[in-house]
Amino acid sequence: MAMFIIVIIALGYLFNYYYGDQSYGILIIAVIIAIVMSLTSYFSGDKIALATAGAKEIKKDANPYVYRMVENLCITAGTPTPRVHLIKDSAINAFATGRDPEHASIAITQGAIDQLNNEELEGVIAHELSHIKNYDIRLMMVVIVCVGIITLLADFFIRMRFYGGGKSKGNNKAGGIIIIVGLVLAILSPLFAKLIQLAISRKREYLADASGAMLTRYPEGLANALEKIKTQAQPLKKANQATAHLYISSPWNGAKKSFIHFTSTHPPIDQRINKLREMA
């Protein structure tokens, strides 16, 4: 989070130096847009994520097996029961979303219900409930907004550099250096922001694995579920880059095996399985 703040301040400083803008107009506009984005994300981000995934809320009478499993784990964890949603997809996956335990939802694919045994499904649900209890759902929304602010500022700088000119102070040599540094930072900062987002996402996945295993007292259940997820061939039908980090495993798992590792939203499944089995 500190890295995000540093990059945002650096971009803002370069804007004002290059354009000689003492009113901070560009930065103010960007912040206003970011505030609107963050409020929308905070209060409606879960609805957007669920709609994007095609998740439909279910009640206890629609699927008492899954609903009671969620309820029992919530009683053990001492947290409110989230709204339970079903994704009609044959792939094995699940995710949690919301802003706090009182305003949270969990979504599970039909494939997970059909293909996982009781202990495995319990491990997956415990993992997602841990994301809720650890406030990962809120943290990732904040991170998404920070990435959005950086991308927005970088886009402003590049567009105004080419279309609006500049009024930088100082001699031409210093102004030229600032232009070069500003362009490089504007081009690379979205990439740096994305890498920071991925790093945070991976760390929280490891934490949720450990917390979920402690909740069920059976790490092998989640490890076995991850084994099945690893070997499945089909991706989620409604996989989306914006929500990929929310799932227990990459929604493209098995479909993009050659994809570069450092761009993945999740740590390698083999490492997660090994860490879980070391807990047993």
> Which of 57, 102, 119, 128 is labelled catalytic?
128
The residue type of 213 is: A
Helix (H, G, I), strand (E, B) or coil at 97: strand
| C-alpha dihedral (247, 250, 251, 254), degrees to nearest 10 | -150
- Integer Cα distance of 27 and 12 in angstroms: 6
Angle at 97 between CA 194 and CA 250, to 5 degrees: 50
Rg (CA), the chain: 22
Q: Please report the pLDDT score of residue 173 as a whole number.
A: 58
User: Residues of the chain with pLDDT > 90: what percent?
Assistant: 45
Domain boundaries, the chain: 2-279
pLDDT band at 226 (very low <50, low <70, confident <90, very high): very high
Question: Could you give phi then psi for residue 78, rounded to 5 degrees?
Answer: 75, 35
Q: Decide if 128 is catalytic.
A: yes
Mean predicted confidence (pLDDT) in 212-228 = 96
- Please name the residues in contact with 91: beta carbons below 8 A apart, sequence gap of 6 or more: 109, 111, 232, 234, 235, 236, 237, 251
Q: Please report the pLDDT score of residue 260 as a whole number.
A: 46
Distance of CA 127 to the CA centre of its chain: 15
Tens of pLDDT, residues 96-120: 999 999 999 999 999 999 999 999 9
- Cβ–Cβ < 8 Å for 242, 52: yes
Instruction: Look at residue 129 and tell me whether its pLDDT is greater than 90.
Output: yes
Higher local confidence (pLDDT), 129 or 170: 129
Q: Please report the pLDDT score of residue 177 as a whole number.
A: 65
- Cβ–Cβ < 8 Å for 67, 60: yes
Instruction: Look at residue 245 and tell me whether its pLDDT is greater than 90.
Output: no
Tens of pLDDT, residues 18-42: 666 666 676 677 667 667 777 777 7
Q: Please report the pLDDT score of residue 274 as a whole number.
A: 96
pLDDT band at 165 (very low <50, low <70, confident <90, very high): low
Mean predicted confidence (pLDDT) in 191-218 = 88
Nearest C-alpha neighbor of 98 from the set 54, 149, 141 = 141
